[in-house]
């Protein structure tokens, strides 16, 4: 199968969408497919046997780490030369519109997937008044695809309630070899806790951006004695977070990768994730694969992963003290069994199975889109 993927973000950027895509591309190639990725130019021309067509891009003013690549005729020429069996637009925004346009004009089967809850992001950037318009754009864009995939049942329900049709679930995935309890080590715990490994060590991994609501962790540090927070990642909200957490035991670690990231998960007491706008929360699965229980908002796709009191704790987003209360419960009840249950949940979800499921969706979409011959 020849598969063209249009995405607004790809390597070398680091986020949950890129993680899913890089594993998807790797396993699609392993399964014998030819893959061409259209993405903002990051300097790569190939990844795991897939071609990458980098489109020159500029920084998005509200979020400088996000690159915007504008459609141009050369994209159509490259797509026509590749002759895909299917076009997959991932979280279509700007570059995804090019994929949509050329798939329609060249009569290629079109599939889309929804990963970022953009309508809810707007309120965190003072643009909440545009939420209705954004939902109209999401609906009109996705309803041009033959199939729309979501990464959680909650997002399927949400999109359906806003008029998006032809929805199905793309199962979650996590690298249970890379993220494993065996990476737990004293040196990483000391590094994250800034030399105080005996304290309660809380971890956050991900973008440091307004919609992640990381400031909601502050009452946890203030309410639980001998607590420390390690923030792994970077983003446009870092300076504001440094101001908010000034005077607390907070370590702005920056990016970690590979074994270091795995060790950060495995060496922490709890992973705290206050965001209410997650379509899935892939990083939660990575923490759980490392045997680190999580405390997260009972919102979006998170309840698909976290079973309250079993492999972590959920809190109600509208409860001002919810994160603090849930974290306190986790510390009181955290034991080896809870860590094991977190790991067991993650072990259910491998990337190969998720990619085989996706390949089945591709085949289904191609079959549905084949022209029907009318016999006279």
Average confidence (pLDDT) over 347-364: 93
Cα–Cα distances (Å) from 95 to 57, 71, 72, 89, 308, in that order, read 10, 6, 9, 9, 39
pLDDT bin (cut points 50, 70, 90) of residue 62 is low
Cβ atoms of 16 and 280 within 8 Å: the answer is: yes
Cβ atoms of 147 and 363 within 8 Å: the answer is: no
Say if pTM beats, i.e. exceeds, 0.85.
no
Query: With the C-alpha atoms ordered 107, 113, 119, 124, is the resulting torsion angle positive or negative?
Result: negative
Q: What contacts 26, CB < 8 A, 6 or more positions away?
A: 47, 48, 351
Whether residue 128 is predicted with pLDDT greater than 80 in this model: the reply is: no
Bond from prior residue into 12 cis (ω within 30 degrees of 0):
yes
> pLDDT tens digits, residue range 281-337?
789 999 999 999 999 999 877 888 899 999 999 999 889 899 999 999 999 999 999
Angle CA 21–262–349, to nearest 5: 50
Whether residue 155 is predicted with pLDDT greater than 90 in this model: the reply is: no
pLDDT at 372: 47
CA distance 335 to 182: 17
Give percent above pLDDT 70 in the chain.
90
Helix, strand, or coil here: 177? coil
**Percentage helix, strand, coil, to 5, in the chain?**
45, 20, 35
What mean pLDDT, rounded, does the chain reach? 90
Domains observed in the chain: 2-173+350-369 (3.40.50.2000), 181-347 (3.40.50.2000)
pLDDT at 213: 92
DSSP state of 280: S
Tell me the pairing of strands 200-205 and 227-232.
parallel
CA distance 147 to 88: 10
């Amino acid at each position: 199968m020849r598969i063209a993927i249009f995405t607004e973000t790809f390597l070398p950027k680091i986020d949950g969408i890129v993680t899913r895509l890089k594993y998807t591309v790797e396993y699609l190639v392993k399964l014998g497919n030819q893959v061409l990725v259209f993405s903002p130019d990051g300097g790569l021309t190939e990844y795991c046997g897939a071609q990458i067509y980098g489109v020159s891009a500029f920084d998005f003013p509200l979020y400088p780490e996000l690159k915007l690549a504008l459609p141009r005729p050369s994209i159509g020429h490259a797509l026509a030369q590749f002759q895909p069996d299917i076009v997959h637009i991932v979280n279509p925004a700007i570059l995804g519109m090019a994929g949509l346009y050329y798939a329609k004009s060249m009569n290629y089967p079109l599939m889309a997937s929804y990963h970022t809850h953009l309508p809810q992001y707007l309120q965190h950037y003072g643009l909440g008044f545009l939420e209705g318009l954004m939902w109209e754009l999401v609906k009109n864009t996705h309803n041009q695809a033959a199939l729309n995939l979501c990464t959680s049942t909650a997002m399927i329900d949400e999109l359906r309630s806003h008029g998006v049709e032809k929805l199905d679930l793309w199962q979650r995935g996590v690298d249970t070899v890379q993220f494993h309890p065996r990476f737990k080590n004293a040196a990483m715990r000391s590094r994250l806790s800034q030399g105080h490994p005996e304290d309660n060590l809380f971890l956050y991994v991900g973008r440091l951006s307004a919609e992640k609501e990381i400031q909601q962790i502050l009452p946890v540090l203030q309410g639980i004695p001998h607590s420390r927070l390690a923030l792994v990642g970077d983003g446009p909200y870092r300076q504001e977070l440094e101001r908010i957490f000034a005077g607390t035991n907070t370590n702005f670690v920056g990016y970690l990768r590979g074994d270091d990231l795995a060790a950060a998960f495995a060496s922490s007491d709890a992973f705290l994730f206050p965001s209410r706008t997650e379509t899935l929360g892939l990083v939660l699965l990575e923490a759980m694969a490392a045997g680190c229980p999580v405390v997260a908002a009972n919102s979006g796709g998170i309840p698909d992963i976290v079973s309250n009191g079993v492999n972590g704790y959920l809190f109600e987003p509208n409860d001002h003290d919810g994160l603090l209360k849930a974290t306190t419960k986790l510390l009181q009840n955290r034991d080896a069994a809870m860590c094991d249950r977190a790991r067991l949940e993650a072990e259910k979800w491998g990337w190969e199975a998720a990619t085989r499921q996706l390949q089945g969706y591709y085949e289904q979409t191609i079959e549905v889109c084949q022209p029907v011959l009318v016999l006279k």
